[in-house]
Structure 1
Amino acid sequence: MTSTVLDVTVMLLCVSASVVALGAVESDSETERDAAADVADRLATETATVSYEVNDGDHDSRTVHATLAELLATAVGRPPGTDGEIRDRFRSRVIERVTDALGGRTRVDVRYESDGSPPAELPARDGEFHPRPGGETAAWTLTVGSEPPASTDVTAAVLTHPGSKRTDGSGQGRVRIVVRAW
């Protein structure tokens, strides 16, 4: 009788352990499924401060405080009143800040799209201006992070941010932020 009670107890412990283990596996897969949505949410809500050198008259630097998505949207274009070198400094600081905030296993592709030709203040440089077929739409791009491995499951989410009149002169453009997480 004692061995039967012991056998039943061991069996119940094994069944309980397997249920807990299966529950944990299911939770992990749900977390992985929502990974890109969580990153997109962080981009839209988390704020950061970026300082960059300008060497312009009275000031040696400028500081921008905004959500990560707003910083990316600004970095894809050019902060108002900046030349190419200052713009590059700002972009690199934004990329650093977003990389630090998101960590690894995340790729963010940012694309600014504007109807019509590029505004005069945003000249084509270093392959950043990409006219679409027919020349109707201009786009600028920015990437943060590396491509996901081909052998892994990837989730995706998309954020859209309105264009700025300071960026394209008309306010008709938009910034599309595609998040991939694995």
Structure 2
Amino acid sequence: MRINADIIDLVTFFPFSKNTCNTSNDIRTINQFKNNQWKSKIFYPNKLNNFYNCSLRLGAVPALPASDRKIHQNGTIEYFGSDIKTISELARRLNFFNNISFYPAWGEVFENGSGTLLAEALINGSVNIICGWNFLTSIKRTFLDFTQAYFFVPFVLVVPPGLKELFYF
């Protein structure tokens, strides 16, 4: 916010525009308070409805049926899986280009905020988003931002009689 005497400018940045991709350089005044009233009722413009064909770096691991790839003899790569389809549809609707990188495994997130493999790539910004069946843990929640889960796998633990003491209930 910029305040100048009786005028208050409400300022934000647009991470994706015709001239910028994934930066905070496109700074605009989106509203102004003058003469005891706001110029517009819109305080939160929709910044993410068009990514202007910018490239987003997607990280994935081979984890069927969520995501996988096939490298053909001619060098082309075919990506497939339920998460790949979901991300591809988002890219089509929001106008962004998928730049997909596959990692051998998810990796770990440590209490100091570091990580390995795909987790490290997400933490250090080598990828913007990840897809696949990644599991939420309390440590991951501390350092990574998760969207709402859209897929659940029921989990049943069958314990034979007399072996309950092997588990913490």
The TM-score, its normalising length taken from structure 2, stands at: 0.24
Structure with greater proportional helix content: 1
For the pair shown, the structure with the greater C-alpha radius of gyration is 1
With the length of structure 1 as denominator, give the TM-score of the two structures.
Answer: 0.23
